[in-house]
Amino acid sequence: MSERLRFGLGSGLLLLSVAGLAYGPGQSDFSNILLFYLPAFLGYLWLCYRSEGIPIAWYLGLAIAVRLIILPAMPQLSDDVYRFIWDGRLLLNGINPFEHLPTHYQALPNPPAGLTEDLFRQLNSPEYFTIYPPVAQAVFGISCWLAPDSIYGSTLLMKAFLLLADIGTIVLLPQLLNVMGLSPKRALWYLLNPLILIETMGNLHFEGVMIAFLVLSFWWLHRQKWWASAVAMALAIAAKLLPLLFLMFLIPLLGWKRSLQYFALLGGVLLGLFAPLLGEAFLNGFGSSLDLYFRRFEFNASVYYLLRWLGIQLTGYNQIAIIGPALALGTFTGVTLMAARAGYRSLKGKALDLPGLKYYCLAAIVLYLAFTPTVHPWYVALPLLLCIFTPYRFPVLWSGLIMLTYANYAGVEYHEHLGLVALEYVTVAGYGLWEWRQQKKRIKAMPFSAL
């Protein structure tokens, strides 16, 4: 089979399957989700493993084409978009989205413009405060300002913002890999992944925006433009908070003096971005949302579910109010110890470099996802991005298996299938452990001069 024919078959399989998934099954239609996702994932693997002989420009064109095809589709597997629009319409009314719960406005005889009963009924968590930071809120507000009376119009505009972010990643990620001495085609593991296509461009999750700014921050770090990197990192954090996990690793990378300057600029930019939302309402609402995230929400967890089971055996009821914060503290402690180790190695003459930074970032996000009580499919986007800078590919396997979580919505009522959760984590952890052992063997087999 010729290389072009292989590329055409893989591309066609990926395009058709992702389009079918974006325009077809809803959240509860698990059988059809698998029917489309499985061939999409196989097409993706085919393209990534058989990419030799085809110019990378063809693959990058494919990455843009598939995003354009699913751009007009309303999110099928998530209803978070309605909260985005709710927050955006609050901003149009000059109201801080963190000020009150949605139920507060529905109880008013004359609620603010745009906060209709129909929109309220489509919110998935009207009893909780919003949790979306300022970059996301800005996109909500601009999209609703440009299309104030149309849910579809606002949604399409938000997806256009995500498309621009994705195009930035498509352009910059291969260049970043190339200047780091890695194959630019490693970018395909992220750019063509059907989970990324469906959960960011399809279902409108802002991991794509966060990752675009994070890649830009890494690019500027490599160019030793630390001030530009700090601004891009602040924007990544203001899109999704997860890059906060990586900040401690910048100390052994930049040194104390430069890292303090970096953090000062980053903090100043973050303060400017959060300033329009700051106040007592923000602190109470955002703090309440974070507290609920660690003390009440449960979805597709690993270590937490084991500890939950143990707590029920010992006490007779769910101890999430204790276990959730304890695991959050465990994540912070683990990341701190990783950063201390990197700093110690730097003192011994093994300074942390940019490739090494990616290893630590991957370890940090995997630790966080192992300990958190909630792991939605789109959460795998960040470890999937980071793994392409390393020899590890277990996040690729994870991106395939985590779609099994949609089985939870297949019945009349939500029901989590713990057998599928066990299958997901045992398989991913087993493969990750195998990769780690293979990497250790490879390092031991290298001649001393290559180390």
pLDDT score recorded for residue 7: 87
Mean pLDDT of 245-262: 93
C-alpha 64/C-alpha 54 separation (Å) is 17
Q: What percent of the chain has pLDDT over 90?
A: 75
| Distance, CA of 261 to CA of 246 (rounded, Å) | 16
CA distances from 415 to 58, 61, 324, 406 (A): 42, 40, 21, 10
Q: How confident is the model at residue 289 (pLDDT cuts 50, 70, 90)?
A: low
| Confidence check: pLDDT of 291 > 90 | no
| The one-letter amino acid at 294 | F
pLDDT, tens digit (0-9, with 9 covering 90-100), for 37-51: 999 999 999 999 887
176-180, 319-323, 429-433 — which is least confidently predicted?
319-323
Amino acid at 53: G
pLDDT, tens digit, 9 for 90 and up, residues 391-400: 999 999 999 9
Q: Tokens standing for 192?
A: 């063509």
- Does the pLDDT of residue 66 top 80, yes or no? yes
By the 8 A CB rule, do 41 and 400 touch?
yes
Mean pLDDT across the chain: 91
For residues 311-337, one letter each, b for 16 or more C-beta atoms within 10 angstroms of the residue's C-beta and e for the rest, the string is beeeeeeebbeebbeebbebbeebbee
Contacting residues for 207 by C-beta, under 8 A, at least 6 apart: 199, 200, 240, 378, 379, 381, 382
Is pLDDT at 450 greater than 60 in this prediction? Answer: no
Q: Does residue 77 surpass a pLDDT of 90?
A: yes
The reported pLDDT for the residue numbered 193 is 98
Residue 55 has pLDDT above 50, yes or no: yes
pLDDT at 449: 37
pLDDT at position 294 = 66
pLDDT tens readout for residues 164-191: 999 999 999 999 999 999 999 999 999 9
Instruction: Copy the structure tokens of residue 346.
Output: 């730097």
CA distance 256 to 239: 27
CB contact at 8 A, 141 and 91: yes
Q: Would you state the pLDDT for residue 99?
A: 87
445 pLDDT band, cuts 50/70/90, is: low
CA dihedral angle for residue 155, residue 158, residue 162, residue 164, rounded to 10 degrees:
120
CA distance 366 to 242: 12
Can you give the pLDDT at residue 362? Answer: 96
